[in-house]
Amino acid sequence: MMSGELLRRAQRGPKESPRDSLRYSGFWRRFRAVLIDTIILLIITIPILISLYGWDYFESEALVAGIGDFLISWVFPAAATLVFWVYKQATPGKMLLRMKIIDAKNGSKPSILQYIIRYAGYFVSMIPFGLGYLWIVWDPQKQGWHDKLAGTIVVHAID
């Protein structure tokens, strides 16, 4: 449980639930976090890809240029994201903007399985023209489809 959360729960009235005090992170705040994460990933991966494949890499129409490309462009971002989620409940972009991923049912830290489902849910959210991400705009709890699949929500970090 987040430090200080027990005290805040004790100070609430009997009818107020823990979820009533949460501030959900909306679409634009989350979008800014994704931009920050993308820039960080590009700063790390582009020089490595250029050193392996040269500038022609960017003109190729192949989805994957080789095993190095697969590891750097697909495996590394997934692994890095999951590691940040497991240890910090947020990626660097979310941390900079003071957001946290929590379990939607009880407000605790999500399980590793929830994080894996959430990451896989990114692809589901992308398929119909990004509708799963845009869903954050209309959803009362600001959940994208990946959040709904995993049972998570993104909130403003208290600590």
**Do you know the residue count of the chain?**
159
Instruction: Locate all alpha helices (DSSP H) within the chain, ordered by sequence.
Output: 5-11, 27-53, 67-70, 76-88, 92-96, 112-126, 131-138, 145-150
Q: What local confidence, expressed as pLDDT, does residue 4 receive?
A: 44
Other CB atoms within 10 Å distance of the CB of residue 156: 14
Is the separation of the CB atoms in 143 and 153 below 8 Å?
A: yes
Q: What local confidence, expressed as pLDDT, does residue 1 receive?
A: 46
CA separation for the pair 1, 142 (Å, rounded): 22
Q: Which structure tokens are listed for 133? A: 């991400």
Q: What local confidence, expressed as pLDDT, does residue 6 receive?
A: 36
For the cut 60, the answer to whether the pLDDT of residue 149 exceeds it is yes
- For 3-48, the pLDDT digits (tens) are 345 334 434 444 444 555 789 999 999 999 999 999 999 999 999 9
Q: What local confidence, expressed as pLDDT, does residue 154 receive?
A: 97
CA separation for the pair 87, 115 (Å, rounded): 11
pTM: 0.82
Q: Quick one: pLDDT band at residue 60, thresholds 50, 70, 90?
A: confident
Least confident of 8-12, 114-118, 138-142: 8-12
Is the separation of the CB atoms in 93 and 30 below 8 Å?
A: no
Q: What local confidence, expressed as pLDDT, does residue 159 receive?
A: 61
For the cut 90, the answer to whether the pLDDT of residue 111 exceeds it is yes
CA–CA–CA angle 80, 129, 118 (5° rounding)? 35
Domain extents for the chain?
A: 23-156
Q: What average pLDDT is seen over the chain?
A: 88
For the cut 50, the answer to whether the pLDDT of residue 52 exceeds it is yes
- Residue 66's φ and ψ, nearest 5 degrees, are 165, -175
